[in-house]
Amino acid sequence: MQDNNPEIETQLDATPNDLTMSAICPKCGYSMDKVLSDAARERKPQPGDMALCSKCAAILAFTDDLGLRCANAQELDDLNFDVTIIAAQMEIRAEAS
Ligand SMILES: [Zn+2]
């Protein structure tokens, strides 16, 4: 019982239900920690989920380890410039200016 996957147990200890992430916008370097931990209370992000940088409004995607990378062309195409996203981007840019 004791010797099955101690590594996983350690990881679970280190990350309790409260999501602790260290996600930095690859475009502007803004730390999204606060934004993401707020969002994670409602819905935990999954790898491949999309996010918006709350500073430069870049469209980002979560990597497998829940870091952030810029969305690729395919993902941007899939979003098809969703009105909700455009509205959110406009809001972020308005706040930043
Ligand atoms: Zn950014």
What is the per-residue pLDDT across 31-62, written as a single tens digit (0 to 9) for each?
A: 988 777 887 788 888 898 888 999 999 999 99
| pLDDT of 78 over the 90 cut | no
4 part of a folded domain: no
9 part of a folded domain: no
86 part of a folded domain: yes
- pTM for this model (two decimals): 0.69
88 part of a folded domain: yes
Domain residue limits at 47: 21-96
Calculate how far, in angstroms, residue 19's C-alpha sits from the geometric centre of ligand 1.
21
Calculate how far, in angstroms, residue 64's C-alpha sits from the geometric centre of ligand 1.
19
What is the per-residue pLDDT across 61-77, written as a single tens digit (0 to 9) for each?
A: 999 988 899 999 999 88
2 part of a folded domain: no
How many folded domains does the chain comprise?
Answer: 1
62 part of a folded domain: yes
Instruction: Return the structure tokens found at 48.
Output: 């491949």
